[in-house]
Amino acid sequence: MANQEDIFRKVISHAKEYGYVVQSSEIYDGLSAVYDYTQNGAELKKNIKEYWWKAMVQMHENIVGIDAAIFMHPTTWKASGHVDAFNDPLIDNKDSKKRYRADVLVEDHVAKIEAKIDKEVQKASKRFGESFDKTQFLTTNPRVLGYQEKAQSILKRLGRSLEAEDLEDVKNLIEELEIACPVSGSKNWTDVKQFNLMFGTKLGASAENATDLYLRPETAQGIFVNFLNVQKSGRLKIPFGIAQIGKAFRNEIVARQFIFRMREFEQMEMQFFIKPGTQIEWYEKWKELRMKWHLSLGMGEENYRFHDHEKLAHYADAATDIEFKFPFGFKELEGIHSRTDFDLGSHEKYSGKKLQYFDPELNQNYVPYVVETSIGVDRMFLAVFSNSLKEEELENGTTRIVLKLPAVLAPTKAAVLPLVKKDGLPEIAHKIIDDLKWDFNVVYDEKDAVGRRYRRQDAAGTPFCITVDHQTLEDETVTIRYRDTMEQKRIAIGAVNETIADEVGIRKWLKKTE
C-alpha cells in the first residue's frame, strides 16, 4: 500500500513539474478537487479527445458529433431523474467529523478482501513454480473461494439495499463489517443520508426573477433533447449515434485521488439509438468496440477488466464499467449503459413533444432505445499518464525517469537540439523546426549538455529527439533518438518528417481497433 501511495505521489508531482496538471487557483491554496491543465497537459488532453472523436465520429458513418450548451432548461433534470435520484449515500464519523460515501466505505472493505485473494495467488505461485495453474487455484482453493463468496455477498447486499433505498441496512452493513473511520479509527457512525450531487446556479439579473439552473452533471442530456433535431437534419436512420465531448459538474463529497474524481471534469459520451429489443446485442457490441479502442493504445491488456454493475442507475437495464489499474487499484474508467427508452420517453412526457422515430422498415413510430458509452477525459488522462511514468535502471547503473506516453497522444512529438550553440547548428535546427511545425507540435532546446536535454525530453514524454551536429553541415543528416529504446540512428534531414509521421500518425494506432 505504501508503495502504491508512493507511486501515486510521484505521478502527481511529475504532472506538476513537467507542465501537465496543477491544482486550480494554487496561489490561493487551491480549490479542492478542481485542477488546471498546463502547457503539456492541455496538449495531451486535446490529443486524447481527438483520438476518441476520430474513432467514434470520423470512423463511423452512422455517428455524428454535437456541442450542446452546459446550461439546460431546468425541467431537463427533472425528466432525466437527476433532481430526484442523482444522490450519493453519505455517512459521517462522529469522532473525526469526516464525511464518506457509505458505498465507497463498503467497496474499500471488499477491495481489502480481494487483495487477500491476490496474496494467496502470489504465495501459491511461488510455492508451485512453473506448474502453477492460476485458474484452477482460483476455482478450487477453499480459502480463496471463501474470500470470493464473502466479497460477493457483501456487494450483493450493498446493491440490494441501495436499490431499495434501504439506508438503514447500509449503515447496519458498515457496522456488521466493523468498518472503522480511516482517520479516527473509530466505528462511531451517524445514519446514512442521501445528498444530491448537482451544482445549482441562477439565471437572471434580479433575485425575484431569477430561474434556478443546474450545471449539467452529464453531457448525455444535451444529446437526448437534440435527438430529433439531429435525426431529422441529418436524415439519420436507426441504428445511429450522437457523440459529444464537454464539461460536466458534480459536487463530489469524497473528492480525492487527484484528477480521478473532480468537481469540474470533462466527458466523452456517445448515445447510440436503436430499435427496442436489440439493446443487449448492441450493448455487447459496444463493450467489445470500446475495449478495442483502449487496447489500441498498447497500455497492457492485463490493466483492463469489465465490472458489471450490481446496482443499476435509475435509467439502465444493463451496465458495466471498463476498469483500469490505476496506481490505487482497479477503478472505473468508462461506463457502458443500456439506457432503454428511459430518457427519451421521460423527455416526451415532461416536454409534451413527441420524440419518436418513424421506422420505414417496420412502417411504425417508436421511441428508440439507447446504448451509451461514457468516458471521463480526465480519468483517461490519469490512466495514460500514470501508466506511462516509469523509472528505469540503465546498463551503466544510473536510472532515468521516462514518460512512455503512446506516441499518438504525446504533447510534443519531437525536440530539435543543436549539439552546440554555434557553428551554424542552431540555424539548421530552426530550419528543421520550420518544416516540422506544419505537421507536428515540436520544440527547440539548446540549453545544457545534450545528454541532459535527452533526459528532460524523456521525462516530458517526447517520443523523438533530433540532434543537429557538425556532420549535419557536411552531409545533411541528423541523429534521431527514440525515447523508449534510446536507440539512435543517422537519417537524412529530408526523412525526418516521414519517420516521425510513421510513429505518431493516428491511422497506424486506430487501425488496431479494426
The residues binding ligand GAP (CB under 6 A) are: 218, 220, 250, 252, 261-262, 265, 267, 269, 332-335, 372, 374-376, 378-379
Q: Which is nearer to ligand GAP, 370 or 465 (CB)?
A: 370
Residue closer to ligand GAP by CB (options 171, 263) is 263
Query: 258 — alpha (psi -120 to 50), left (phi > 0) or beta?
Result: left
Q: Least Å distance between CB 279 and ligand GAP?
A: 16
Q: How far is the CB of 314 from ligand GAP (least distance, A)?
A: 11
Do 230 and 242 form a contact (C-beta atoms < 8 A)?
yes
Give the nearer residue to ligand GAP in terms of CB position, either 247 or 489: 247
Q: 220 or 238, CB closer to ligand GAP?
A: 220
Q: DSSP letter string over 254-300?
A: S--TGGGS-SEEEEEEEEEEE-TT-HHHHHHHHHHHHHHHHHTT-S-
Q: Which residues of 284-310 are buried (b: 16+ CB within 10 A; e: fewer)?
A: eebbeebbebbebbebeeebbeeeeee
Contacts of 391 (CB under 8 A, 6+ apart): 399, 400, 401
CA distance 106 to 486: 46
Identity of the residue, 134 or 314, whose beta carbon is nearer to ligand GAP in the bound complex: 314
CB nearer ligand GAP, residue 321 or residue 469: 321
Nearer to ligand GAP, 323 or 348 (CB): 323
Judged by beta carbon, residue 375 or residue 419, the one nearer ligand GAP is 375
Grid cell listed for 206 = 434580479
Residue 494 C-beta: closest distance to ligand GAP, Å = 43
Length of the chain equals 514
316 versus 417: smaller Cβ distance to ligand GAP: 316
Least distance from ligand GAP to the Cβ atom of residue 376, Å? 3
What are the φ and ψ backbone dihedral angles of 423, each rounded to 5 degrees?
60, 20
Minimum distance between the CB of residue 155 and ligand GAP, rounded to whole angstroms? 17
Q: Which residue is nearest to ligand GAP (CB)?
A: 376
> CA distances (Å), 203 to each of 206, 207, 214, in order?
9, 9, 10
What is the nearest approach in angstroms of ligand GAP to the Cβ of residue 422? 49
Strand-pair partners of 414:
442, 464
Shortest distance, position 16 Cβ to ligand GAP, whole Å: 19
CB of 187 to ligand GAP, least distance (A): 28
Helices (H) then strands (E): counts for the chain? 18, 23
Q: Distance (Å, rounded) from C-alpha 417 to C-alpha 92?
A: 56
In sign, the C-alpha dihedral spanning 276, 277, 283, 284 is negative
b/e burial code for range 28-49 (CB count within 10 A of at least 16 → b):
eeeeebebebeebbebbbebbb
The residue written with cell numbers 542552431 in the block is 426
Output the smallest distance, CB 33 to ligand GAP, in A: 8
Burial of 399 (0-12, 13-18, 19+ CB in 10 A): exposed
Minimum CB–partner distance for residue 217 and ligand GAP (Å): 7
Which residue in this structure is represented by grid cell 545534450?
A: 450
Nearer CB in complex with ligand GAP: 220/403: 220
